[in-house]
Structure 1
């Protein structure tokens, strides 16, 4: 993902995007149970806005809110690109314009539609980079999904694109990590955890994999393990705001109050996000 989000409510951690749908899995080798609802993947992604000419489903919840962030200039760019696409009749030219339309949708934060058109362009062009763009767009839409069903659908689309990436470049750990996280929202979450471990085995300092494994440990109430993951993460990247925040949360949950207080205070100086500052204040009030 190109951006990070921290959404917290009083007394509970509401995890970003995909984390909202995570099953209560125990992140260890012994636990092999399937704990999420069955995946219901469809061939066409939901969530396109009504003006994109596809009517694949109504937008709602977090996705709709994200799409509302588009500026008038971005919406104008989108309208222009869509008109150009609709007027193009030559198939090869239309496929090229599909990439332009996808970029316009991505700029307007309409990631599901961006994925749809990036996929059209990727299937016409082939190549690792084209499929990576489609996968990244679908993955962004996946993280904004407002229901588990929608997360499963968009996650399946992202996986399909990333699998094409890995066929061309098996060492793309970013694609592999994102595939792993889409599996967490399916009936086989352990497959995702296994993939994350494979990423760590290849790159012990991989920040995205460390972060996600830490989040999974929090989700399964394994705060000791979460402390280990986030400590490693902030050792690799001391400026990782989310990692520092969740390390503080994990320390607080394991009874290490003084260490947690120090880190919560540090987090306030690392970010100007008012929502994050408010959440930190809530935790500090509880720890005092």
Structure 2
């Protein structure tokens, strides 16, 4: 299970890209990120799992104007000093986020955190590496990015062991480690502290699907939509899990509920495809 669907619960999720190939993603050997061509892959450059991770060139999806701005900022970063250098690092990280080069954004946020360490500074860097890890296209890259992600979340949790968001992402990053069971245990610890934690419920549901435990996935997603009936991803994957568990009528109802929650064309296409399979 080295590649994982997006675990971060954000308003933008539930759009077509998150659900487009959901059923195939959930049962694929080793799992895989639910990405589409509209999402910049974090696989276009080398990443080191050590503290010496190097920034990369702008993503090819960046516009000419964005590439020019990144080049200008990079040049300024090389010559800036002190507080000015940190300011440019923040600007560079923000621009890399815009072009969805999350590992590069994480690198620059990490430089800021090194200069001015703190829970939020480390988490900002860790979150960007987690984004990159979530969309890693190869096992090797997933392992490298997850290692870097874990390194930074460890710094966050050292500052605040009760940061449940960091703990949840850390749990997911551990899925690409030599001890993935520890990741599942960490996610369960999050639920023990916060039984209504949507992200933990979602991720445990996805992991259950990936390990062909449809019945357990159903339980997780049912709890998720009970906590938040408007959670689009939760409703969609509940349908996927129910279908895999042989509960076709219940799956149909979950997919119809998904359609009522979003008008996104990509998502509706995916839902309709899943409904056809149930006929």
Taking structure 1 as the reference length, what is the TM-score of the superposition? Answer: 0.79
Please say if 1:200 is aligned against 2:191.
yes
CA distance in 2, matches of 1:215, 1:173: 18
Residue 20 of structure 1: which of 25, 32, 46 is its match? 32
Q: Any conservation in 2 of the 1:218–1:226 contact (CA below 8 Å)? A: yes
What residue ranges of structure 1 are gaps of 5+ in the alignment? 22-39, 52-66
2:40 maps to none
> How far off its partner does 1:94 sit?
1.8
Retained in 2: the 8 A contact 1:142–1:151? yes
2:42 is equivalent to residue 50 of structure 1: no
- Distance in 1, Cα, partners of 2:99 & 2:49: 25
Query: Whose RCO is larger (CA < 8 A, sep 6+)?
Result: 2
Aligned equivalent of 1:177, options 168, 178, 185: 168
Note the aligned Cα RMSD (angstroms).
Answer: 2.5
Question: Cα distance, 1:69 vs. partner?
Answer: 4.5
2: CA distance, partners of 1:11 / 1:124? 44
Q: Relative to structure 2, which stretch is displaced further, 100-109 or 146-155?
A: 100-109
CA distance in 1, matches of 2:210, 2:19: 15
Mapping for residues 12-161 of structure 1, pairs under 5 Å: 12-13=24-25, 19-20=31-32, 41-45=49-53, 48-50=55-57, 67-88=59-80, 90-161=81-152
Distance 1:6 1:44 in 2: 32
Query: Equivalent of 1:188, from 179, 183, 193?
Result: 179
Q: Would you say the 8 A contact 1:177–1:208 is kept in 2?
A: yes
* Residues 22, 237 of structure 2: 8 Å contact kept: no
2:249 is equivalent to residue 258 of structure 1: yes
* Count of residue correspondences: 252
Structure 2 contact 110–125 (Cα < 8 Å) conserved: yes
TM-score (norm 2): 0.82
C-alpha deviation, 1:241, in angstroms: 0.7
Cα 1:68–1:244 change in 2 (3 A) is farther
Q: Displacement, 1:77?
A: 3.7
Q: 1:278 aligns with which of 253, 269, 277?
A: 269
2: distance between equivalents of 1:13 and 1:190?
21
TM-superposed deviation, 1:44:
4.0
* 1:80 positional shift: 3.4
1:71: how far off? 4.5
Given that residues 131 and 164 in structure 1 are in contact (C-alpha distance below 8 angstroms), is that contact kept between their aligned partners in structure 2? yes
Deviation at 1:140, TM superposition (A): 0.7
CA deviations 1:259-288 (Å, max 9, x no partner) are 111111221232233332222122111111
CA contact (8 A) 2:19 2:236 kept: no
Gapped runs of 5+ residues in structure 2? 1-7, 34-47
